[in-house]
Amino acid sequence: MRRNDENEELEANKSAAGLIIRLIILLILASAVVVFITCFKLENVEIRPGIHYTEEEIRQRLFTKKTDNYTVFFVFRINKLDVPNLTFVEKVDVEMTDRNSVIIEVHDKAITGCIEHMGSYVYFDREGIAVDSSTQRLEGIPLVKGVEFGGYTQGKPIDLGRSGVFDTLLEIIMLLGKNKLAADDITFGIRDDVTLHIGGHEILLGISDNYDLRVNNIKAALDVLPEGNYILDFRNYTENNREIDVRPLE
């Protein structure tokens, strides 16, 4: 009988010891959680947006989980688990600069121009690759008109229907960028003659094997125009003929 009592007492002691150990572990875990919540609360967010989204739009798109209030969880989720899929954004990098601060850097997709297709705008890069499509028209991206365009596959080259058109288009877009000019649209005529619209003005570039001379002189011509909208005719503009036909745009 005494032996049974000793065994029961031993078992009771073991059970109590086990309970104490479990309580200690729970207390340690609870303390760790409290320390984590206190030390890694996300308080400072620096957003470096691209040109297509504002800081507030980026914040709304990225901060969608309750755990995003904590630096480590947010950084791990965005960089590893739940990479955001944003139209016109190549990638989003999140860097933890200290236990309460992160930097969010948005890298835009490289977009050269767009084509209107079935109620949307198909955007492409300088290699002619279809980047994305949207019903939204992006500011500063020229709309290409007058080309044959039957469809596209994202990530594949677009087909403009006529050989040489994309090379001409790319040349003109690069020259506009070099001269800090943004065309609203670039139109190809039946003979592939080129017309631009820039800030309410119509620029007739015509047909040329090399558009450098004409595009490089657009800005200087625009800068001396009086108030109003004009047609600037560069179709006969050459090294030997520097005259530009200018008339009001009705």
Number of domains the chain is built from: 3
Residue 5, pLDDT > 60, answer: no
* 101 and 163 inside one domain: no
* 69 and 98 inside one domain: yes
The letter for the amino acid at 238 is T
Task: Please state which of the ranges 101-105, 112-116, 154-158, 174-178 shows the lowest mean pLDDT.
Answer: 154-158
Residue at 166 is within a domain: yes
Output the 3-class SS for the chain: CHHHHHHHHHHHHHHHHHHHHHHHHHHHHHHHHHHHHHHCECCEEEEECCCCCCHHHHHHHHCCCHHHHEHHHHHHHHHHHCCCCCCCEEEEEEEEEECCEEEEEEEECCCCEEEEECCEEEEECCCCEEEEEECCCCCCCCEEECCCCCCCCCCCECCCCCCCHHHHHHHHHHHHHHCCCCCCEEEECCCCCEEEEECCEEEEEECCCCCHHHHCCHHHHHHCCCCCCEEEECCCCCCCCCCCEEEECC
* 119 and 198 inside one domain: yes
- Residues forming beta bridges with residue 197, ordered by sequence position: 185, 202
Segments forming the whole domain that contains residue 48: 44-108
Residue at 235 is within a domain: yes
* 96 and 118 inside one domain: no
Mean pLDDT on 9-21:
59
Mean pLDDT on 70-91:
84
Residue 3, pLDDT > 60, answer: no
* 128 and 236 inside one domain: yes
* 145 and 212 inside one domain: yes
Give the number of C-alpha atoms closer than 13 A to the C-alpha of residue 123, restricted to the C-beta side.
20
Residue at 39 is within a domain: no
CA 70 from chain centre, in angstroms, equals 26
* 82 and 192 inside one domain: no
* 89 and 120 inside one domain: no
**Residue 218, domain CATH:** 3.40.50
* 66 and 99 inside one domain: yes
* 72 and 196 inside one domain: no
**At which of 108, 134, 153 does a domain end?**
108
CA 84/CA 61 separation, integer angstroms? 8
207-219, pLDDT tens digit by residue?
Answer: 988 899 999 999 9
Confidence of residue 240 (pLDDT cuts 50, 70, 90): confident
Mean pLDDT on 64-72:
88
Task: Please state which of the ranges 25-39, 50-64, 125-139 shows the lowest mean pLDDT.
Answer: 25-39
* 205 and 239 inside one domain: yes
Residue 36, pLDDT > 60, answer: no
Residue at 37 is within a domain: no
129-144, pLDDT tens digit by residue?
Answer: 898 888 988 888 999 9
* 91 and 119 inside one domain: no
Residue at 219 is within a domain: yes
Mean pLDDT on 175-185:
92
Residue 40, pLDDT > 70, answer: yes
